[in-house]
Amino acid sequence: MDAHPGTQELLDIARSIALEAGALAKRRRDEGVEVAASKSSPEDVVTFADQEAEALIRRRLAERRPQDGFFGEESGAERGSSGLTWVVDPIDGTVNFLYGIPQWAISIAVVEGEPDPTTWRAIAGCVYAPASEEVFTAGAGAGAFLGDVPLRASASTDLSQALVATGFSYSAERRGKQAAVVSELITRVRDIRRVGSAALDLCYVGAGRLDGYYEQGLNPWDMAAGALVAAEAGARVTGWDGAPASRGFLLAAAPGVAGGLEDLLREQFPLMGELA
Ligand code: IPD
Ligand code: CA
Ligand code: CA
């Protein structure tokens, strides 16, 4: 697919704002992190740094792209007039952030259309992990990069030797079901990872650090930038049966194992269940 006009400019904006917000969050992390509130469950926390980082990102986008819409995890949505919307997770991997585990990231993407992963066209995205200073970027039709190094998903074809990551819901009931799926899966693949940041899981698939990743219950801001990085690196990113990835299900995998991994997960569907 051809690159959207202005992709490079949008990507540069995503990158520079992600770097600024990442530096702020890292400063806050070094000063000591405080939980501001809990959200869907006591485990689902938001820190003051999440709120502050999103406010900064929103302010910068309003300065540089006043016609575009905004859709962020912590401060909600605002429609724009340009047809483009910025989809933002100010800190993805908040629990890691809270505990000082390095896998947390700023995720900023710009999409065309409604901010709904089943219909949007992602144009550009940046996932910045301040603890490792890794900057993942992708532009539609323009490839995916770690810094300035082009990314390629793994060449793996043997599912039994695949390293597969997943994530768990903040709801205790759903976590139980998700763990049951993992307990079957772990006997059929090389090993399982729970990185703790969906945005980084997706970038790691793009970088060939993981052969596959799947999760149910992701929100648009968890996947917007990372899914573009994975797809532009040649990974297959889908929902069930070739449908677009959604809250219901997202699978990102190296093309050589994606079909087999989807079949394996489909066998577990009675356990996983439908997720609206
Ligand atoms: C969470 C992380 C986690 C994933 C959850 C997400 P947050 O985002 O991406 O890895 O398993 O589904 O909600 O709350 O840290 O922004
Ligand atoms: Ca998130
Ligand atoms: Ca978040």
Of 133, 150, 167, which residue constitutes the final position of a domain?
150
- Mean per-residue pLDDT pooled into runs of 10, the chain (276 residues): 79 98 95 78 80 97 97 94 97 95 98 94 98 98 98 98 96 90 95 98 98 97 98 97 95 98 90 68
User: How many angstroms does the Cα of residue 6 sit away from the middle of ligand 1?
Assistant: 30
Of 150, 178, 201, which residue constitutes the final position of a domain?
150
Instruction: Determine whether the shortest distance from the Cβ of 89 to ligand 1 is under 6 A.
Output: yes
Domain extent, residue 265, equals: 159-272
User: How many angstroms does the Cα of residue 264 sit away from the middle of ligand 2?
Assistant: 26
Do 22 and 40 belong together in one domain? yes
Instruction: Determine whether the shortest distance from the Cβ of 218 to ligand 1 is under 6 A.
Output: yes
> Are the beta carbons of 170 and 178 closer than 8 angstroms?
no
Q: What's the pTM?
A: 0.96
Query: Which ligand approaches the C-alpha of residue 53 most closely?
Result: 3
Cα distance between residue 24 and residue 274, in whole Å: 38
Do 190 and 171 belong together in one domain? yes
Of 101, 129, 150, which residue constitutes the final position of a domain?
150
* Residue in this structure with the two tokens 């066209």, named with its chain if needed: 121
User: How many angstroms does the Cα of residue 235 sit away from the middle of ligand 2?
Assistant: 21
Do 113 and 33 belong together in one domain? yes
Instruction: Determine whether the shortest distance from the Cβ of 198 to ligand 1 is under 6 A.
Output: yes
Do 23 and 57 belong together in one domain? yes
How many domains in the chain?
2
> Are the beta carbons of 141 and 154 closer than 8 angstroms?
no
User: How many angstroms does the Cα of residue 141 sit away from the middle of ligand 1?
Assistant: 27
> Are the beta carbons of 115 and 87 closer than 8 angstroms?
yes
Query: 230: closest CA among 149, 157, 137?
Result: 137
2 found inside a domain: no
User: How many angstroms does the Cα of residue 2 sit away from the middle of ligand 1?
Assistant: 31
Neighbours of ion ligand 2 (CB under 5 A): 89, 92, 222
The CATH number linked to 90 is 3.30.540.10
Beta bridge partners of 88: 72, 108
1 found inside a domain: no
3 state SS for the chain: CCCCCCHHHHHHHHHHHHHHHHHHHHHHHHHCCCEEEECCCCCCEEEHHHHHHHHHHHHHHHHHCCCCEEEECCCEEECCCCCEEEEEEEEECHHHHHHCCCCCEEEEEEEECCCCCCCCEEEEEEEEECCCCEEEEEECCCEEEECCEECCCCCCCCHHHCEEEECCCCCHHHHHHHHHHHHHHCCCCCEEECCCCHHHHHHHHHCCCCCEEEECCCCHHHHHHHHHHHHHCCCEEECHHHCCCCCCCEEEECHHHHHHHHHHHHHCHHHHCCCC
Ligand 1 atom nearest 104 alpha carbon: 15
